[in-house]
Chains A and B, each alone.
Chain A
Amino acid sequence: MRETSGWRGLLRRRASASSETQVTIVSRSPAQKKTFRPARWIGRWMLSDFFILGLAAVYFLVLCGIDPRMAGGRNIANLASSAWPLLALVLGQMFVLITGGIDLSQTSIMALTSVLGGILMTSSVQPEIFAETPLWGVLLTEEGGILAGLPGGAPIGLLAMVAAGAAVGLLNGLAVAKLRMPPFLVTLLSMMFFSGLALYLTQSENIRRLPDAWIALGKGQVGSVPLALLLVAGLALAAHVLLQHTVLGRWLYAVGKNPRAARISGIPVDRVVIAAYAFSGLMAAIASILYSARLEGGRPTLGEDKLLDIIGAAVIGGISLFGGKGRVSSAVCGVAFFVLLANSLDMMSHWYKLPYFTVNVVKGSVILLAALLDVGRTWLRMRGGGSPRREKRLPADAETRPSTGPDGLRRAARVMAGESSLRPPRRDDPPAAAPSMARDPSSPAVLEFRGTGKSYFGVPVLRGIDLSLARGEILGLVGENGAGKTTLMNILGGVARPDEGTMRLDGEIYSPRGPHDARRAGVAFIHQELNLFGNLSIADNLFIDGFPRRAGLLIDRRAARRRAAALLGELGLDLDPDMRLDRLAPGEQQLVEVARALGQGAGLIIFDEPTTSLTSRETAKLFDVIRKLRDERKAVIYISHVLDDVLRLADRVAVLRDGALVDVAPREQLTAGRLISCMVGREISDLHPRRSTRPSPDVVLEVSDLGREGAVEDIGFALRRGEVLGLFGLMGSGRTELARLIFGLDARDSGSVRVRGEPLGRLDPRRAVRKGLALVTENRRDEGLLPDASASDNLALAALERFARRGPGGFVNRSALARAVEGTARALQIRSRDLRRQPVQTLSGGNQQKVVIGKWLLASPSVFLLDEPTRGIDVGARYEVYSIINRLAEKGAGVLFISSEIEELIGMCDRILVLHEGRMRAELPRDAFDPERILAAAFGWKEER
């Protein structure tokens, strides 16, 4: 039984075991059980943090088998003494890597501090050598450095070295954080500069006669324990405590995982980044002290070739170059392996007389192998193998962008087909009966699904879908998140492959092997996330995989422009095809995507949630276009959560629930209520829950005369305790900008913001958070969440300091924090398999949104700014979000509820403000709510006020 043994069997079994479904688990005979064990054991080992350390240990034992002298005291001492300084370097580098940066300048910091320490502390120098140095007579004389004779000179000098290292790191950090320059470049230039400076200061000379206290650090022992070990072990311990137990540590990870979300959560991102670089510099100085002590001299060329070792050890230890990942144990493992590797290569040249040039070839190969291993481990982790403690990573939610992690991660994600969260089917659901096909017999089906099914890890995501679509028809497709809509469309669009069933296109069997195949067959898939490239022109985007060409090679730009203009014209867009795409409004971009599909001659076009970022005017325009497509006898599938839109547009509507088709009916027979009850499987009587309290007269947020050029002008309003204040405006009206201005994310030109009577003062999200503001942005993936962190890490983000004694450096009271986080998660009914382990990006959209709101609850703010809190989440989750908003208000918070959906504002708010082109056009109390008046004001019609 091949399938049940080895990796595949392991993965399959684990997957089914850890899901909560009733999928039959293959009964295992004892014999089979035995065959599982080694694979399982190795799998668990491979995923553990100490995998590399184990590998090093095995390797070491093998080497000792070859030559017991490997384990002799001398060699152990040698191994150890080369490990300590390297460990210091890698620890420092790790802090920078965690923030998503890189520090190439550590080597030059070593050189500089070594020289500096030498100059300060040497007891004498020869004038004929050093008279030309720029410091002669200033810091350096014949009697040595200025600290030479002083009592306590050595400690002061060593501290000065450390301070200098931290200072250079600080400069790097400032350039990266404040000047926003790429870390690679900043630290490359500082590497060039400071190593040049080190040579300049001593005019290339090494400095000898260091104080004994310094040299003792490299060679001395306390009892039989080397001083260097004590020093570095202490630092490693400190680094561990800092990373795992303090606010700053948590902040570091948050900054590395998502700097924008971190900033909005009130984390002083710039300062955290600067601190990381300063720490890296500091650790480089420590390494410099140890290395210099070993060689008994200050050296301007110290560590010139160490960069490879540092990065190599970090990579081998599994510290990600993309940020957000890395522990002290990774650094220790990486250094242990790397030092052992170097040592073993030296040894092998003794045993096998390896020629010296082979050493580098082997070293390079090992780094590659280690990286490959890491890719394998990531893949394994994604597949859910290994430790049973570790929660299986579910495939990314349909709405989440594929992780921006390392390529390996992306590849793995791709294996998972980037599909929606797996909701286990409810047992009490009867298997969906094949729905009746209301089909016009005169127009043959252009597309036909028959028995299409798909499972991940044995959990069915789609079951027996029978569905057809005719030319000249618009099919609406609705269902809750996770119902399988996107999976079905991915199968159609060639992104995923079905496990069972057939598809026919124009009567022919259709089984696309990739998006490319689908496109060639005339199927265009317009994803919710546009597949457009902001860095290219409109024409480039339209023809990116099929330019008109001259002589088969060069792009015929004139023809491209002409055809682009024609395509755009068809959709009523009057744009210059050479315009860069990122200059277009979102609605225009959406239409460009449609134009691309048309340009490719698509006969079947899938729209997945196309209106989430569109204004109603743009939506109307898009609908006109879609209807026009229908009139041109193209087939359209339209997926949306906005049921009114679906009912307005579609000829037929198909409803999916839990992977099965539960209803297909012509529009005429449907109402929103029926759709909802179909989707949810239960009745939702009222879309908007009632609130039990009334707003109190106390003002919690007062905005006056707020303005920013090009965004908003002259905005003033007051928000009261317990009030839900709606803010309505079309796309581009400045509603999002207003929220950002209030929160201090963008600089304002005029006006003031007061929270509970206190002016907000200097612009800084951190300050806003401290004063009691909370911002839920419209873009929760990019600005709200750390996608690959767990729900509980996300929930803790904004309130970390409240759970720490004494500021950012203080220890986090972890148990209190965990209790609070769990309480919040329970209160908000956040559904996650494992709050502490399951990455939040694998939760459904609604649960993600609850996490973003929950993050703020822990910080107990008095004002919530909610920007489109219900965007892209399904009906059931919406209701829950509404309930949460009500509860916030009931507890006395003021809520500014920004939305582009009039219905939810009318259903939820006490007052509604309307923005148009950055100005306040109307303020309506509850009894004056009227969709038409609101819209009129939003369009700027001057009948109000």
Chain B
Amino acid sequence: MAALGAILLLAPASCARRPAEETGLAVLFSFQDLETEFWVAAHRVITTALKEKGIQVIEQNAHQDANRQLEQVRAAISQDVDGIIIIPQDGESALTIIGEANEAGIPIAVFNRPPADRSRPAVVVVADNARIAEQAVEHLADEAARLGRKARPLILVGDLGDPNSIDRRKGFYRVVDRRRDMFHDPVEVPTKWDANTALSNLEAALQADPDVDLIFTSSDFMYPQIRAVLEPLGRWKKKGEPGHVILGGLDGDLGACRLMKEGYVDATGVQDLFFEAESVLSGLLEAIEKGEKTPERWTEDPGFALTQANIAQRELDMWGCRLASQAGR
């Protein structure tokens, strides 16, 4: 009955807050599921920054469905938002969504994942996952070279439907293929970005190939699983201790920071979260301020590999460490 409609409306209305009136601006922030710490942190940094500036943020989760994201952006356009920030599901859908915003004349910013090409104008801040993974694995390979024998590398592969995991896998293989002479065939472990799957498959893989020397995880959130598997085997060792497994990953979250400092992890590929967030925000806000409808700015976050060698200097460039130190303060 009509009561249903009433309930629907009243329930959220009762907890409604008045929008921030200071600037009167509203920005849509549409993202995919926040399942790793990087996304969670990015989400928090972006929303708090916008709110501090007195801009209303409309947060929407597209649940890894590009079509859903398109619908959300269209709905926002019909609500006359002043700007749009998306974390697209992939480069191809990003392009479509940008087109949609261009047509409506609303500035749009794309965070972290690059559109498939640069044919449509947008504020784009991206990290090249493959490139960053390559840097981190390069360092791991250098470490492995010191073993003085052919090393057996292992990679924890993320969900095969997620472009990030595909790119990171590519970066890993670039190094391994380039230095074929020093590596055995790599062991690939599927994780589907699922903690339990990662644990059981890694355990299985290490049961079959106990002589793994190097583990690269496609995301830092899986270190606890690696630890759970290595520890009973007596191989959860710090760098320099006998039996140490050369360990690296990508993301640069709090856990990775701690493990780097403790010496368990050799290298982690880091995206500069704060730089990316700030570039996106400043690019978009500038466009809104200037009244640009289809701003075009393309910023690349080169990223870097935080390694045991450079951790002393670059610790605070890593967002995980910075968040940790902020929390510690």
Contact = CB atoms under 8 A, between A and B. Distances in A.
Nearest to B68: A305
B312 interface: no
Contacts of A757: none
A69 B78 CA distance: 7
Contacts of A302: 66-67
B60 interface: yes
Interface string A77-102: 11001100100000000000000000
B71 interface: yes
Contacts of A58: 2, 5
Interface in B144-181: 160-161, 163, 166
A347 B75 contact: yes
A294 interface: yes
A336 B58 CA distance: 24
Given A343-B75, A352-B13, A353-B17, A366 B67 contact: no
Interface in B6-58: 6-9, 11-13, 15-17, 19, 26, 56-58
Nearest to A75: B78
B286 interface: no
B225 interface: no
Contacts of A42: 1
Interface residues of B, number: 52
Contacts of B5: 55, 58-59, 62
Contacts of B26: 350
A304 B65 contact: yes
A349 B13 CA distance: 11
B278 interface: no
A62 B8 CA distance: 11
Nearest to A343: B75
Interface stretch (A9-17, A256-264, A356-364): A356-364
Interface stretch (B92-100, B239-247, B257-265, B300-308): B92-100
Pick the most buried of B56, B93, B104: most chain A CB atoms within 10 A of its CB: B93
B161 A353 contact: no
Nearest to B90: A206
Contacts of B91: 206
Interface in A292-346: 294-297, 299-306, 342-344, 346
Contacts of B92: 206, 208, 295-297, 299
B178 to A, nearest CB: 15
Pick the most buried of B6, B57, B78: most chain A CB atoms within 10 A of its CB: B78
A74 B89 CA distance: 23
A131 interface: no
A297 B92 CA distance: 7
A203 B173 CA distance: 15
Contacts of A342: 68, 71
A680 interface: no
Nearest to B43: A356
A369 interface: yes
B161 A62 contact: no
Given A62-B5, A74-B74, A304-B65, A208 B116 contact: yes
B72 interface: yes
B185 interface: no
Contacts of A369: 4, 7
Contacts of B56: 353
A303 B65 CA distance: 7
Contacts of B17: 352-353
B67 A82 contact: yes
Interface string B190-218: 00000000000000000000000000000
B96 A295 contact: yes
B72 A346 contact: yes
Contacts of B72: 346
Contact of A351 (B16, B90, B116, B163): B16
A294 B89 CA distance: 14
Given A204-B160, A351-B16, A295 B71 contact: no
Given A204-B166, A294-B67, A301-B161, A78 B79 contact: no
B4 A305 contact: no
Nearest to B97: A295
B161 A300 contact: yes
B67 A204 contact: no
Given A55-B1, A74-B78, A305-B68, A62 B9 contact: yes
B96 A82 contact: no
A884 interface: no
Contacts of B59: 349, 355-356
B61 interface: yes
A46 B19 CA distance: 38
A559 interface: no
Contacts of B60: 346, 349, 356, 359
Pick the most buried of B57, B66, B91, B104: most chain A CB atoms within 10 A of its CB: B66
B110 interface: no
A770 to B, nearest CB: 47
B58 A353 contact: yes
Contacts of B161: 199, 204, 300-301, 304
B70 interface: yes
Contacts of B12: 348, 352, 354, 358, 362
Given A55-B4, A352-B17, A356-B59, 16 more contacts: A55-B1, A62-B5, A63-B9, A81-B74, A204-B163, A204-B166, A206-B93, A294-B70, A295-B92, A297-B92, A346-B75, A347-B75, A350-B75, A353-B57, A357-B61, A359-B61
14 contacts: A62-B5, A63-B9, A67-B79, A75-B74, A77-B74, A81-B71, A204-B166, A208-B116, A295-B66, A346-B71, A347-B75, A349-B58, A350-B75, A353-B17
Interface of A: 42, 46, 55, 58-59, 62-63, 66-67, 69, 72, 74-75, 77-78, 81-82, 85, 199, 203-206, 208, 291, 294-297, 299-306, 342-344, 346-359, 362, 366, 369, 373
The 8 closest A-B pairs by CB, nearest first: A352-B16, A75-B78, A74-B78, A78-B74, A297-B92, A301-B161, A59-B5, A346-B75
